[in-house]
Amino acid sequence: MNRWIPIQVAPQRARIMRRIDMERDSQDGQHGAQQDIPVVRDGERYLDPENVMRARYEGRKRAGTQSHADIILEELAEAFDAPTPELMREELIQSAACIVKAIEAIDWQRNGDGKG
């Protein structure tokens, strides 16, 4: 049984999380829970190998040309190359955090105040 512990979240991040939660409910309503399908099928590659994505990210970081897309794709590559479900889960959490950060950046760039 899960025991949820209330956490303090910045208001702008809480709005993002509520919107993500609404989208998840919509996905479940449209497609069902889909808990039984694999996260990754054995042997399939969905992104460039992790080392390629990391090299791309590091190169762009050094050049000062990185984007949130580079960060997110590098994290996803790590997740889908993870050798165990536990490591994959941790990398997916890091990926989700990077996606939330990108949403915050969109809101900040659009509004200048982070209110999306």
Going from N- to C-terminal start, the domains of the chain cover 45-116
Name residue 86's amino acid: E
Tell me what pLDDT residue 68 has: 94
Q: 10 Å Cβ neighbour count for 69? A: 12
Write down the pTM of the prediction.
0.80
Per-residue model confidence (pLDDT) at position 92: 95
Q: Count the neighbouring beta carbons within 10 Å of the beta carbon of residue 80.
A: 19
From first to last of its 116 residues, the chain has per-residue pLDDT tens of 557 788 888 988 999 999 999 999 999 999 998 888 888 777 666 666 667 888 888 999 999 999 999 999 889 888 888 888 899 999 999 999 999 999 999 999 998 765 55
